Amino acid sequence: MKSTFLRLLIGMAPVVSACSLVAAPLHEGDKPAKNIVAPAEPNAGLKLPAGFTASAIIEGLSRPRHLAVNKNGDVFVKLEKLRDGKGIVQLHLGADGKATITRAFGNFPGTGIYIKKGFLYASSDEEVFRFKLDNNDNVADETPEKLVTGLISRNEHEAKAILVDNADRLFVNIGAFSNSCQEEDRKKGSMGQKGCPVLDSAAGIWQFKTDQANQHYGDGIRYATGLRNVVGMDFNYTDNELFVMQHGRDQLHDLFPDLYTEQQSAVLPAECMYMVKKGDNAGWPYIYYDELQKKKILAPEYGGDGKKTAGENAIDPAIAFPGHLAPNGLLFYTGTQFPAKYRNGAFIAFHGSWNRAPEPQEGYYVVFVPFKDGKPTGQWEVFANGFAGVDKITSPGQAKHRPCGLAQGPDGSLFVSDDAKGTIYKITYKGK
């Protein structure tokens, strides 16, 4: 089975435990032993391709989500949980490779953060703000301008990922406040709502202006629809195209046990990368993508049986991954520090699953997707593994770290956030 093959292929990095390094007991006449200190784990516990190194530049932040790096190499971190009443921290790396917090601001928690053309953009679960930057790419005024307000947030898929392109268009993900638009959400056997009213104000990408305050739905454009929840998105400027990572729906077996086995539900549906153009529809909730059959399948809530195809007018994924890995970060690499194979390819941070039983939970790593002529080649690989710290996970709480956000430094280094233990990693290439 593909999921079994994946686990054999990507196995977790070994972890050295401090408690395993214990001095031998003293005998009469022995000199007292010196204190034994556990050595730091190589690459901060991560398993990387040859020539790459990693370090944990800071730990213990309050659920860090997405990242943005300024031209000086300082890292802005969006916090999902306020730290001393602030939702954004600015990190400065010292000569020792460790980061210190030089500034904390923004009185709202959330996920999204992005730097573009002299502004730092940041989101809460209902609003989008921007801070003016000075000539050194530092925040000039800690009182932000509120660009968008009143976005839906109903305790499911509430995170608002944001992006600003070269044409000064602000893109905001608004996730579906539903698993599959059932009449009774996540209830066994409940069928889908006709017309799915969730699509009116969620389950898509909305486009707003960057120079107009207090915009609401009516001031924006529903750029794309039929996307259950997007947390990772980025522009690939090779062809100036928007790419997004969708979280696929859950619980096929739990909700429709007569149609799906537990094993099928563990790996389906696929987590999909889409290239999205204005007006596109990815098909949620009426269809899902089956990576094993390589087909768009009619959802059981709307009369599907796991085999019926549908969604002829819905876009196809650019590439599909095994189910329930939870893609939370997407970054197109434009630097020159990494080897040539990585340039203009995509890194994806998979946050990790919770519903792959009876299979072990999966994800908790960063993968790389090579691109050619602006499109994925179809051959992806695990790039950074070992975040979880254990070989087999039966619940997300067992994972020591969970990748979430990605950002590229001015020197071409890759930064990765972990929203479980609050660690920020820096990955660099030193050469073979």
CATH architecture, domain 2-429: 6 Propeller (2.120)
Closest CA to 315 of 352, 273, 346, 349: 273
The torsion angles phi and psi of 329, rounded to 5 degrees, stand at -140, 140
Please give the pLDDT value at position 39: 58
According to DSSP, the residues that pair with 377 across neighbouring strands are none
- Which backbone phi and psi does 219 adopt, to 5 degrees? -90, -10
Under a CB-based contact definition with an 8 Å cutoff, are residues 380 and 321 in contact? Answer: yes
Task: Output the tens digit of pLDDT for each of the chain's 432 residues.
Answer: 444 334 333 333 333 333 333 333 333 344 434 444 445 789 999 999 999 999 999 999 999 999 999 999 999 999 999 999 999 999 999 999 999 999 999 999 999 999 999 999 999 999 999 999 999 999 999 999 999 999 999 889 999 999 999 999 999 999 999 999 999 999 999 999 999 999 999 999 999 999 999 999 999 999 999 999 999 999 999 999 999 999 999 999 999 999 999 999 999 999 999 999 999 999 999 999 999 999 999 999 999 999 999 999 999 999 999 999 999 999 999 999 999 999 999 999 999 998 898 988 999 999 999 999 999 998 999 999 999 998 888 888 999 999 999 999 999 999 999 999 999 999 999 987
Q: How many residues does the chain have?
A: 432
CA-wise closest residue to 275 among 351, 323, 332, 208: 332
- Give pLDDT, residue 97: 96
Give the helix ranges, DSSP H, for 124-240: none
pLDDT of residue 431: 85
pTM of the model: 0.90
SS3 track for the chain: CHHHHHHHHHCCCCCCCHHHCCCCCCCCCCCCCCCCCCCCCHHHHCECCCCEEEEEEECCCCCEEEEEECCCCCEEEEEEEEECCEEEEEEEECCCCCEEEEEEECCCCCCCEEEECCEEEEECCCCEEEEEECCCCCECCCCCEEEECCCCCCCCCCCCCEEECCCCEEEEEECCCCCCCECCCCCCCCCECCCCHHHHCCCEEEEEECCCCCECHHHCEEEEECCCCEEEEEEECCCCEEEEEECCCCCHHHHCCCCCCHHHHHHCCCEEEEEECCCEECCCCCEEEECCCCEEEECHHHCCCCCCECCCCCCCCCEEECCCCCEEEEEECCCCCCCHHHCCCEEEEECCCCCCCCCCECCCEEEEECEECCEECCCCEEEEECCCCCCCECCHHHCCCCEEEEEECCCCCEEEEECCCCEEEEEEECCC
Residues in CB range of 265: below 8 A, 6 or more apart: 251, 252, 253, 254, 355
Instruction: Give me the sheet containing 99-105, strands edge to edge.
Output: 64-69, 75-83, 86-93, 99-105
Residues ≥6 apart with Cβ < 8 Å to 103: 89, 90, 138, 139
d(CA 197, CA 106): 33
A 10 A CB-CB count for 200 gives 13
Please count the other Cβ atoms lying within 10 Å of the Cβ belonging to residue 317: 21
Residue 394 pLDDT: 85
Query: Which token pair is 192?
Result: 């889908």
Which DSSP helix (H) or strand (E) runs through 264? helix 262-267
Q: Rounded distance, CA 109 to CA 122, Å?
A: 9
